[in-house]
Structure 1
Amino acid sequence: MQQQYENGVSAACLVGAAWQKSRYSNPSGNCVELARLPGGSIALRNSRDPEGPALVYTPDEIAVFLLGAKDGEFDGMVGER
């Protein structure tokens, strides 16, 4: 049986997760990291708190978020860059 993880699980409990961050990440640690979990779910964590809580999403949830991000739907949240 595959492990099911809930939102808010400690990222330290996600044994074997291979965390990945964007190449746009900066040295001050302002980044979000993602990891694919067994069973296909995807976890997100704050790189400044690697053992803190992780949010867990389905591949479909991540896919629609990425489509929106690519289309610029969330650009107003971070202001001009």
Structure 2
Amino acid sequence: MPTQGQSFDYLRAQASALRLIDKFGQAGAIVRDGPGAGPEWDPGEPIPTAHICRMAVLKFDNKDIDGTLIKAKDKKG
């Protein structure tokens, strides 16, 4: 724990987190809508694009499960 006059080493913490995710994480993808295929002034419907990644998959806390937006079997990544 940092003492007075000492700062937290965020780069070291980030390196540790990345190493752990690389070792224990799961392969997955984050899907985001990209621009449609039409011209700039009328691009049309968005096109979903998958971005492959490695992620930590975690359970939601019971207090966050509302049964509508977040269901009991949902996971967060």
The structure showing larger relative contact order (alpha-carbon pairs under 8 Å, at least 6 residues apart) is 1
Instruction: Give the structure with higher Rg (CA).
Output: 2
TM-score, reference length from structure 2: 0.22
Would you tell me which structure has more strand in proportion to its own residues?
Answer: 2
TM-score normalised over the length of structure 1:
0.21
